[in-house]
Each structure stands twice: as structure tokens, then as C-alpha cells.
Chains A and B, each alone.
Chain A
Amino acid sequence: MSKILDELKKGRVLVSDGAWGTFLHKKGLKAGECPEMWNLEHPDAVFEIAQSYIAAGADMIETNSFGGSRFKLANYGLEDKVFELNKSAAELSRKAAGADRFVLGSVGPTGKLLIMEEVTEDELYDAFKQQSMALEAGGADAIVIETMTDIEEARIAVKAASENTACEVFCTMTFDKTVDGQYRSMMGISPTEMTETLIGAGASVIGANCGNGIADMIGIVKEIREVNSSIPILIHANAGMPQYCDGETTFPETPADMAGRVKEIINAGANIIGGCCGTTPDHICKIHHVVKSL
């Protein structure tokens, strides 16, 4: 089977999937419940999410393993289930993706801060190694390290995944706009600073996820392209920023709103486009149609 990079080298723009977290909550996941436990307790629901994105036209889908590091699972007393929960996450997405679509094993931040000495570099490396290997064992084609804000944690995660698996390793960070219009992660990292560090650690695709709607992601893509003209860029944009109404939060951007920006973000240099919080199979379907028509 060909790798994602081979497809990109042919000049193709690929479509990724949409939200998992907000989708799981729609299916009944309670706040405070461990999302990864659903891989064992509600595998049908997790499979349905994966399958709905495949049906929408995604070339690749993620896995329900964002909080699957031992540090995050420890919040629920599940730190000894890292292998089982991540492997099952990858298996469920693999089953939905079949042989001709790709599976991206999702790895999120640990929530532990190196700078506060809450964790050591070695402990982070071990945790990311363990999670990545379990995702590979379940059939992931690539590992996507995402929602990172600390460049050191991101670098260690990329290194751990690329040194211990045969998977392609992707990494996306989360940026906000500062008061003077610059993009910076919570820890102060710019897309420019991120680029060479992540590539040096072994990432073959980099980009941004969460924190912004697709319109603000365009500026991030342009900034990465200014410092590197060839590294493939992956964008998972939110469906805008959350709004609160009648006891629930909603995301304002419709599938048509997002699809309307797809050409612009591809022209800026993006190679893989999908969604983050608030995006649905409908969003992905509309994005797929735009990409197909190009």
C-alpha cells in the first residue's frame, strides 16, 4: 500500500476527517468520562464516527486516542491500559478505512509541563513511544501528534514516534492570534519557529489544528510556506469559534462556509485539509467536493 507522502508527491491534495471529541459527546459521552474507554465499551459508536468520515469522502481518518498517553489516562486510573486502548482505537479506524484509505493515529499533549518539572524529557519520550507503538500495532499508517503548544513536548513526541515505529509522523500545533495579529501557541511558539524543529525531529508533515476557523488558518499556512516551500502542510480547522446558546455550545461555520475557503487555503500551500472541533461529516463532504473539483 502506498504511503500518504507518495500520494502528496503526485500533487494530490488530500482530505482528512472532522471532529471526534464533539462527535462523541453527541453520541452520549459525558463530560468527565474517558473518551478512549469508548473504544472498549462502545466500539460500535466509535466505528460509526470513523465510518461516517470515510463515507463523507475523507482520504484519511484519525483514531479515538487523543488522550491515550499514560499521563492523560492516569486521570481516570487507566494508565495501565495504554496499549489496549490505543490499539483498539487504531483497529476501529482501520476497519472503517479499509485497505485504500489511511489511518492517522492521534496523539495529544500529556498536560504535563516540562518547564514546571512536572515531567522529565525521558518520561515524555517513553509515554509517546508506548502510545505510538500501540497505534501502529492496531494498524495506523501515520501518527499525528496534535494540539501541541510546547515545542519541546512536540519535538520529543515526534522523535519518539519516528524512532520507534515505521509509521509516517505528522505534527500539528495550535496557534492563537496575538493582539498585534501574530500567530503564537500558548507557550509562545510561532509557525516559523515550529517548522525546522519539527522537521529536524523527523516529522514528514506539519501544520496546525484547533484554535482557529479555516480563515485564520490561511495565515498560518502562508507563514510556514515562507520559511519552507516543500514540507507538506496539514490543517485541521475548527468550524469557527464556539458560541453558547440555550445551554449548549455550537460552532458557527457551516459546511458551505468552510468549503468556501478551501481553494484559498490550497493556494496558500496546504496539502491536507480536514476539520477539528465542531466539524461534521457534512463539513468533510463539502470540502471533499471542492478538492475533487480542482
Chain B
Amino acid sequence: MNEILTQLSDCIEFGKINMASPYPPQMKGQEGADELTAKALAEGINPQDVLTLGLMPGMERIGLKFRENKVFVPQVLMSAKAMSTAMLHLKPHFLSGAAKQKGTFIIGTVLGDLHDIGKNLVSMMVEGSGYKVIDLGTDVGSDKFIAALKDHPGAVVGLSALLTTTMVNMQAITKEIKDAMPGTLITIGGAPVNEDFCNKIGADSYSADPQGVVEFLNRKLAS
């Protein structure tokens, strides 16, 4: 595989944003995701390959390490930052069609809940895994999810909640989305949520970590 893309995937895995960034200490002074993505594209590497062979393997490795508790939220956030820096270079190629995303994911924290750290983590990791992400923010009701689904038919919906008092709102939102847009797939997550709750409210998937959401999307949208 191309050397630049291998280096780029390391930058994503270890959260190396650009040359100026002091993080991680062991990569200090080296080129980061910013420079390497620009370089790869300038050298004529296919934008699709930059995404698929550069960004995505790095994102997958950090996602798996997070699942195994080998890294924690700060490391994932740095990876996500590196990834979004690279994405800025790729955006024009998505718009021109030179690179294609695997599908669309609509995410929001449910009505009554203002917590966004978990939702942002999932959003960034899903984007870094090759999907277009529509982030509706926090305190989102079914009307906004349904409106976004009308703009992006066939998208998968992700619902997030941190509080035991707001996770209950997932039930009504799931039902309202499925009534309005039959066939929509809904995946849920958040500290108080579990598989049993997912089954009880009629959602399609529960993930304990962001990589689980990526795996669900890969099964449903990318196969």
C-alpha cells in the first residue's frame, strides 16, 4: 500500500492533526493528517483511496482500541480532530462525486437531553468511517428527525441519551419516526441504554461503543 496512506492512517489512529500539533508526543515535528492528505491528493492519489485506505483504517483501529478500553475519550477526540482536518481536503471531492460516501447517518440527542459528548464521538467516528453525517444537535424531537429523513431518504437514524429521565423519550421518537417513514432503521446508544431497552422500544440496534454503530451501518448500508 502507498506509504503516504499508511502514514495518514497512523495520524488518524494516534490523533496527529498537523505538523504544528504537539500531540501525540511521539509524533512531534512530523507531518500530520492535514499535510499528508493535501500531499496525497497533490500526488494524484484517488480521493476515494485517501478515504478508504488512509482515513478509514486509522479510524477503525482507534474505534477498536476504544471498545477494548485501551484508549479513552481524549484519544478518540484527538483522532476525530485529525480526521476532520483531513475531511476538509476531501469535501470538494465528495461534492464533485470523485469520492463517494457509503451512505447517510442522521444523529441527534433526544428531546429533553442536552448532553452532546457521546453523540459527537459517534458522529465523528461514523464520518471518519466513510459516511455522510447529518448532526441535528441536542434536544431533538421526532419532527426534526423526520424532516431530515425526507431530505435524505434511506438514511439510518441514531438516537443518543445520557439521562435515565430522557432515555424514555427514545420510545416515542422511535415509534413516530417509524410511523412517518416506515422501514427506517434506528440505532440507539448512551450510558443508561442497553440491548434489552432497545428491544422493548422497537429500535433496530443498540451499540455500547461508536465502532458498534459503524459496524451496524456497514452491515445495513455498505454491503
Residues on A close to B: CB < 8 A? Answer: 21-22, 25, 30-32, 75, 111, 113, 115-116, 149, 178-180, 182, 184-188, 241-242, 244, 247-249, 277-278
A32 and B78 contact, CB distance less than 8 A: no
Q: How many Å from the CB of B124 to the closest CB on chain A?
A: 10
From 128 to 187 in chain B, residues with beta carbon under 8 angstroms from any chain A beta carbon are: 139, 163-169, 171
A244 CA / B114 CA spacing, docked (Å): 21
Contact A31-B163, Cβ < 8 Å, known A116-B81, A244-B200 = yes
From DSSP, what is the main secondary structure of chain A's interface residues? loop
Best-buried of B77, B117, B167 by chain A (most CB within 10 Å): B117
Contact A188-B72, Cβ < 8 Å, known A31-B113, A32-B111, A113-B77 = yes
Residues of A within 8 A of B168 (CB): 31, 244, 247-249
Q: Which of B72, B169, B192, B200 contacts A242 (CB 8 A)?
A: B192
Chain A CB within 8 A of B103 CB = no
A75 CA / B113 CA spacing, docked (Å): 10
A22 and B165 contact, CB distance less than 8 A: yes
From 49 to 95 in chain B, residues with beta carbon under 8 angstroms from any chain A beta carbon are: 68-69, 71-75, 77-78, 81
For chain B, the count of residues having a C-beta within 8 Å of the partner chain is 30
B72 and A115 contact, CB distance less than 8 A: no
Contact A188-B68, Cβ < 8 Å, known A31-B166, A115-B78, A249-B168 = no
Q: Please count the residue pairs between chain A and chain B whose beta carbons lie under 8 angstroms apart in the complex.
A: 70
Residues of A within 8 A of B73 (CB): 149, 186-188
A180 CA / B69 CA spacing, docked (Å): 8
Chain A CB within 8 A of B43 CB = no
Q: How many Å from the CB of A62 to the closest CB on chain B?
A: 18
List 24 A–B pairs whose Cβ atoms lie within 8 Å, in order of A's numbering.
A21-B163, A31-B112, A31-B113, A31-B169, A32-B139, A32-B166, A111-B117, A115-B77, A116-B77, A180-B69, A182-B69, A184-B69, A185-B72, A186-B117, A187-B73, A188-B72, A188-B73, A188-B74, A244-B167, A244-B168, A244-B196, A244-B197, A244-B200, A248-B168
Residue in B closest to A188 when the chains form the complex, CB atoms: B72
Q: How many Å from the CB of B1 to the closest CB on chain A?
A: 30
Residues of A within 8 A of B164 (CB): 22, 242, 249, 277-278
